[in-house]
Chain A
C-alpha cells in the first residue's frame, strides 16, 4: 500500500523567512509520480508540481524549489523569502504510473498548514 507522510501539521513563519515542508512517501512501485498541491484559504486545490521517479533533479520555480531524494523517499518543498500570500495548506501526493486499469489514483498526505505573518 502507498503512504504519504507530512509530519508537520502546522508551520508559522514571519515574512521573508525560508521554510521547508517535508514529505516522505512509501511505495513498492519502481515507477511513480509525486505531486505538490496548494490549498489557499479560498479552498480550491492548485497544482504546483509533478515529478516522476526517474528524475531526481531538483527543480526551482521562482521562490519555490523541490528536493527529490529517492534514497530517503522524500520530496521536500522549500519556499524562499516567504510571503503572506503563501499562507495555505500544502499537500504532497503520490501515484503509481501503471495499474491494472492503465491509470492510478492519488494518495495524499494529510497536509501542512503554513501561516506566514507580516
Chain B
C-alpha cells in the first residue's frame, strides 16, 4: 500500500521554467492538498481539492496552478518558476468526514536557480 507518493523527490530548475510536481494517492481520499514548507513559516497551504475537478485556493496560491482530472492525482504546476518558490512541497490527503485528519506525502525539495 503506497499511500501517497510524490515525484520527483528532488528537482533543480532555473528561473522562468515550468515545473510540475506530481502527487498520487492510492487511498481514494476525496480531499487533496498542496503545502509549501519554508524556514520560519511552517507549512502554508497553496491549493486544495475537494474532489475531481473541484479546486480552491489556499493561503499562498500566486504563481501556482493545479488540476485534478482524476481522484488519485493532484499535480502542482509552477508556470514560470521564481527563486522565491524554492521550498519543500508536501502533498496531503484527507478522507473528509468529521476528523479533518490529513496524511502527508514524503515531500519534494525544489530548488530554483
Please report A residues at the B interface, Cβ cutoff 8 Å: 33, 35, 37, 43-45, 47, 50, 91, 95-97, 101-106, 108-111
Contacts and interface: CB of A to CB of B under 8 A. Distances in A.
A110 B42 CA distance: 4
A44 B107 contact: yes
A67 to B, nearest CB: 20
Given A33-B100, A35-B101, A43-B107, 13 more contacts: A33-B99, A44-B106, A44-B107, A45-B92, A47-B103, A91-B42, A97-B100, A101-B50, A105-B45, A105-B58, A106-B102, A108-B35, A108-B43
B56 to A, nearest CB: 7
A33 B94 CA distance: 14
B99 A50 contact: yes
A95 B40 CA distance: 21
The 5 closest A-B pairs by CB, nearest first: A45-B104, A110-B42, A95-B100, A108-B43, A108-B42
Contacts of B33: 105-106
B41 interface: yes
B88 A103 contact: no
Contacts of A108: 35, 42-44
Contact of A44 (B35, B41, B58, B104): B104
Given A105-B33, A106-B45, A97 B107 contact: no
Contacts of B31: 103
Given A35-B101, A44-B106, A45-B104, A102 B96 contact: yes
What is the interface of chain A mostly: helix, strand, loop, or mixed? loop
Contact of B100 (A43, A91, A104, A109): A104
Contacts of A37: 104
Which of B31, B43, B44, B102: most chain A Cβ within 10 A? B43
B90 interface: yes
Interface string B42-58: 11110010100000101
Contacts of B44: 108
B98 interface: yes
A35 B101 CA distance: 8
Interface string B81-98: 000000010101010101
